Amino acid sequence: QVQLVETGGGSVQAGGSLRLSCLASGYTYSRFSTGAWFRQLPGKEREGVAAIDNDGTTTYAEFVKGRFTISKDNAKNTLYLQMNSLIPDDTAIYYCAAGAYVADKLAPHEYNYWGPGTQVTVSA
pLDDT-based confidence at 111, cuts 50/70/90? very high
Cα separation, 75 vs 111, in Å, equals: 22
C-alpha distances in Å from residue 5, one per residue of 81, 87, 98, 118, 120: 13, 24, 12, 9, 15
pLDDT one-digit tens code per residue, 48-106: 999 999 999 999 999 999 999 999 998 899 999 999 999 999 999 999 999 988 999 99
pLDDT over threshold 70, residue 29 = no
- The answer to whether the beta carbons of residues 18 and 92 sit under 8 Å apart is no
pLDDT at 72: 94
What's the whole-number average pLDDT of the chain? 94
d(CA 99, CA 105): 9
pLDDT for res 93: 98
